[in-house]
A and B are shown apart, each in its own frame.
Chain A
Amino acid sequence: MTWLPEASAHAMRIDLLLAGLVVISLAVLGLVFGLMLLNILRFRAGRTTAIARAIAAHKSWRFEIVWTAVTLAIFFALFLWATQLYVVGFRPPAGAIQVYVTGKQWMWKVQYPGGQREINALHVPAGRPVQLLLTSEDVIHDFSIPVLRIKHDVLPGRYQSLWFTADRTGSFRFYCTQFCGLAHSRMTGTLTILSAADYAGWLNSTPASGSLAATGEALFIRSGCSGCHASSRYAPDAADTSRAPSMVGLYGSRVVLADGRAVVADAAFLHDSIVDAPRRPGASFATEMPSFRGVLSEDELAALVAYLQTLSPTLPPSAGN
């Protein structure tokens, strides 16, 4: 058996944290078992006097304060260390390649911005940030990549995000780790990390039926979105909001919802809004947007989200080729 490799700088930082935890644990275990053994050797029945016991019964609260304080201090340091490394998971870099991953009983479907598709396989370049946009067509799954030390649950009807920058080429396994029914243990696949040149070659040699954004653009018209929402090409005024919010510049902007929360319109926001229209304050339109849950498949939603992102030209394009 080989030791689990580290395929990113993040994985190395996690292993350092784990090593720290192991060292602390071994020290505490040594202390507990050591003291137990020492007590057994020193204080077996018949060897102690009543006086020794009386002394030990006193001055207990000082010990209590000391070991409570020391424990708290160590725990707080661990908490800060681990939280720092967790927060980065919530902040994907702007220029990341966005790959759409859909779980269904019992396989993973993967779509690339260039229109390439795979099943139970994921190809990514080394050295560039990659963001996975995860969703499920049925039950809750979980996308877990041990060599990168990351995983995230995959929920039906909404997008979850997982990002990484791999730095080591090779083929590694990914798993579904949230129990999802009969063939759960067979819902695994292979992550292939390629050099930048090999990745470009792979993209070119893999057949694609038009880029994801182009598919999305066609869907935007066909599904009737363009009837209300302005987009740069299909309305004279990109800022026309007479019937519905304009899609131009929406991606990446701040949106205030009816409950007062301000959120950044990221890919998850776009996806979830198509499935369940958000309530926005001050926005009263003649017609309310219907839900597209069950009308559009997750593949189609991914294409739409990819297309809508191209309408925010100020942001760096997230196309992967």
Chain B
Amino acid sequence: MSGTLDPTAPQRSYLWQDGTLRSWLLTRDHKRIALLYLGSITAFFALGSVGAALVRLQLLEPGGTILSDATYNRMFTMHGVVMVWLFLVPSIPVTLGNFLVPLMLGARDLAFPRLNLLSWYLFVASGLLVVYGLFRGGLETGWTFYTPLSSEYTEGRVLPVVLGVFLNGFSSIATGVNFIVSIHQLRAPGMGWYRLPLMLWALYATSVIFVLATPVLGITLLLLAFEHLFRVGVFDPSLGGDPLLFQQLFWFYSHPAVYIMILPGMGVVSEIVSTFCHKPVFGYRFVAWSSVSIAAIGFVVWGHHMFVAGTSLYSAIVFSMFSFFVSVPSAIKVFNWLGTMHGGSIRLDAPMLYAMGFIGLFTVGGLTGLFLASLAADVHLTQTYFVVAHFHYIMVGGMVSAYFGGLHYWWPKITGRMYPETWGRLAAGLIFFGFNLTFLPQFILGFEGMPRRYATYPAQFQVLNVLSSAGAGILAVAYALPLVYFTWSLFRGARAPDNPWRATGLEWRTASPPPVENFAETPVVTTYAYDYAELDGRAGPPGTAVGGPHV
């Protein structure tokens, strides 16, 4: 493997080009901005995890162990707000997306590098505002801010948190616009739409939702702040407003936001499964268009959050039907990933383990989604722990698995170092086990009728709650592991070759880590994505570009 000073490398990598703090904080390089984001969302992930840990500790005993009702309510609100807006929504797009979109396109940078940096500053500002609100005064409305609880009946700091989330929306929109324009304008010569890696199709669909749905959240939160400050009746019935209007507007954003969170994960999984099966993705066009149709249908299913809220019978029936429709493209993706594995040449490295974890856990999340799309079943299960388990299977089992899988997969490209493979596999297995132990019992709790957001609960639910908390303990260790060995590998990891996984994307055709301008010369695309025959033909003698330090 090449050492630190590769004579063929035209210039030094983006990481060490200029090491000053100023050069990092004012950088317009998409790769450095991705790392700035990675640092920030890791901090917020840790903060949200503390909230989760306290919640699970509290629920060890029916009467509560450590927290007062008020503190418990603040903790689950903090967990939800921080995890949704400061971790899950940005997660893959702003880190892996920022890093990879130009590299996968064969471009030097995103279309608007300054806007990209601005989006990070907006994100940090919004995060600080939210954290200020949550810790100076606290907030106990849940992440959903339902009115009139959040307008009339709370002592908490609704305003700073709501304004923080509002600001966060602009960061999302900036990223979305940047990706859309880049994917339209900056594709390398020869890269038609059907030659794009599926990750880019997924990020494109995600960006469309960013741009179309986020403004509705912004307007809703502004109205909420307006009502709060000037006592104009919008949502509060005592002022002549309609509390259901808030729910309609909130879910009009927040349901598509679920697809913001899951689509990039699906993109990552498509890349990983193809690479580690050394085989093109089965049904490329179906997988690509299923991303777009999930984004489109995802806009007309928000009403399924309101089947018991007091909306009309007909709207419930229509929303139920659309909710079944939206799960069809997701099912198509799962079947296509399995089809990709069939007849492939499967390697079980850590990224592949995470990807398979995603497929399994996402399937559980999707199937339990059918329970909640079924009207009469939803009446019994909604607002219980069944719902909590369901969306954690999608967001944590699915999305976070994909995020970790993606981090492992592109870690050599990002840092130029290999992570320790054995530890990677161990962490993947531990996360899968800990996750299921945490959330499987919650499905049963939900069926038994245990409501969510309860600081105390009847004693009959204790056994399952203890199991769940035990799982959360394992999960906490499992999430800390990558943090440790990634940091270690940053300094001591083996040097990564340019293409350690023998993958096809353009990002693997440049150095690891890439130079500031990404490519020495603009790559030309002559074949479809995932053309392994072409790759194997081009690879030349083993050890130069392909083949890694491990099997």
Closest CB in chain A relative to B201 CB, distance in Å = 16
C-alpha gap A105/B375 in the complex (Å) = 28
Contacts of A78 in B (CB 8 A): 324, 370, 374
**What is the CB-to-nearest-CB distance from B186 to chain A, in angstroms, rounded to a whole number?**
29
Contacts A40-B348, A56-B343, A156-B243; is A138 near B148 (CB within 8 Å)? yes
Binary contact readout B320-347 vs A (1 if CB under 8 angstroms, 0 otherwise): 1100110110011011101101111111
Q: How far is the CA of A291 from the CA of B370 in the complex (A)?
A: 43
Instruction: State whether the Cβ of A153 lies closer than 8 Å to any Cβ in chain B.
Output: yes
- Kindly identify, within residues 269 to 285 of chain A, every residue whose CB is under 8 Å from any CB belonging to chain B: none
Evaluate contact between A1 and B374: CB separation under 8 angstroms.
no
Residue from the list B321, B324, B453 in contact with A179, Cβ < 8 A: B453
> CB distance B347 to A83 under 8 Å?
no
Across-interface contacts of B278 in A (CB, < 8 A) = 45
B449 lies within 8 A of chain A by Cβ: yes
Binds A, one of B37-45, B357-365, B541-549: B357-365
Question: Chain A contact residues: over half helix, strand or loop, or mixed?
Answer: helix
A146 touches B310 (CB 8 A): no
Size class of the A contact interface (CB-based, 8 Å): 35 or more
Residues of B within 8 A of A183 (CB): 69
Can you offer 19 A-B residue contacts whose CB atoms are under 8 A? A18-B447, A21-B371, A39-B338, A39-B341, A53-B343, A55-B343, A56-B279, A57-B279, A63-B339, A68-B328, A68-B332, A78-B324, A82-B373, A105-B153, A139-B149, A175-B449, A178-B383, A182-B69, A185-B455
Find out whether the CB atom of A146 lies under 8 angstroms from the CB atom of B449.
yes
Tell me if A150 and B283 are in contact (CB < 8 A): no
How many angstroms between the C-alpha atoms of A33 and B360 in the bound complex? 7
Inter-chain pairs besides A32-B363, A144-B384, A185-B457, 14 sampled, C-beta below 8 Å: A14-B379, A39-B341, A53-B279, A56-B282, A56-B344, A79-B320, A82-B374, A83-B320, A83-B375, A139-B153, A151-B383, A179-B141, A179-B142, A179-B146
A75 B286 Cβ-Cβ under 8 A: no
A52 touches B338 (CB 8 A): no
In Å, the complex CA distance between A153 and B371 comes to: 19
Q: Is B277 an interface residue (CB 8 A)?
A: yes
Min CB–CB distance B58 → chain A (angstroms): 11
Quick one: given A39-B338, A86-B379, A151-B379, are A1 and B460 in contact (CB under 8 Å)?
A: yes
User: A46–B449 contact, CB under 8 A?
Assistant: no
Cβ < 8 Å to B, chain A residues 161-211: 173, 175-186, 188
B308 touches A151 (CB 8 A): yes
Closest B residue to A69 by beta carbon equals B328
Q: How far is the CA of A196 from the CA of B246 in the complex (A)?
A: 43
CB pair B142 A48 closer than 8 Å: no
Is there an interface contact between B310 and A182, defined as CB atoms closer than 8 Å?
Answer: no
Q: Verify B346–A40 contact, CB threshold 8 A.
A: yes
Is the Cβ of B343 less than 8 Å from the Cβ of A43? yes
A43 in complex: contacting residue of B277, B377, B464, CB < 8 Å: B277
Task: Report whether B460 and A2 are in contact in the complex, using a CB–CB cutoff of 8 Å.
Answer: yes
Complex contacts, B154 vs chain A, CB 8 Å: 181
Select from chain B the residue with minimum beta-carbon distance to A293. B238
Say yes or no: is A233 at the interface (Cβ < 8 Å to chain B). no
B26 at interface by CB-CB < 8 Å: no
CB-nearest residue of chain A to B347? A45
Report the minimal beta-carbon distance from B298 to chain A, rounded to whole angstroms: 16
Is the CB of A28 closer than 8 A to any CB of chain B? yes
**In the complex, chain A residues 117-160 whose Cβ is within 8 Å of any chain B Cβ:** 138-140, 142, 144, 146-147, 149-153, 155-158, 160
Give chain B residues whose Cβ lies under 8 Å from the Cβ of A17.
374, 376-377
Which residues does chain B contribute within 8 Å of A180, judged by CB atoms? 149
CB distance from A202 to the nearest CB of B (A): 24
**In the complex, what's the smallest C-beta–C-beta distance from B369 to chain A, in angstroms?**
10
Contacts of B331 in A (CB 8 A): 67-68, 71
Option from A43, A53, A63 in Cβ contact (under 8 Å) with B283: A63
B447 to chain A, nearest CB (A): 7
- B447/A156 in contact, CB under 8 A: no
Contact yes or no, A86 B460, CB < 8 A: no
B153-A138 in contact (CB<8A):
yes
Residue of A nearest to B148 (CB): A139
A140–B395 Cα distance when bound, in Å, is 27
The answer to whether A152 touches B308, judged by C-beta atoms less than 8 angstroms apart, is yes
Specify which chain B residues have a CB less than 8 angstroms from the CB of A21 in the assembled complex.
367, 370-371, 374, 377
Q: Given the complex, which residues of A lie within 8 Å of B316, measured CB to CB?
A: 86
In the complex, which residue of chain B has the Cβ closest to the Cβ of A90?
B313
List the A side residues contacting B339 at CB < 8 Å: 56, 60, 63
Q: Is A44 an interface residue (CB 8 A)?
A: yes
Which residues in B have their C-beta under 8 angstroms from that of A160?
310
Q: Does B458 contact A (CB under 8 A)?
A: yes
Pair A57/B449 contact, Cβ less than 8 Å:
no
Q: Please determine whether A25 and B374 come into contact, CB atoms closer than 8 angstroms.
A: no
Q: How far apart are the CA atoms of A60 and B327 in the complex, in Å?
A: 20
Chain B positions 298 through 317: 1 when the CB is less than 8 Å from some CB of chain A, otherwise 0: 00000000011110010011
A45-B346 in contact (CB<8A): yes
Contacts of A258 in B (CB 8 A): none
| B1 CB–A CB distance under 8 Å | no
Cβ of B132 under 8 Å from chain A: no
Looking across the interface, which residue of chain A has its beta carbon closest to that of B76?
A179
Nearest chain-B residue to A276 (Cβ)? B240
Task: Output the least CB separation between B456 and chain A (Å).
Answer: 5
Q: Which residues of B contact A286 (CB under 8 A)?
A: none
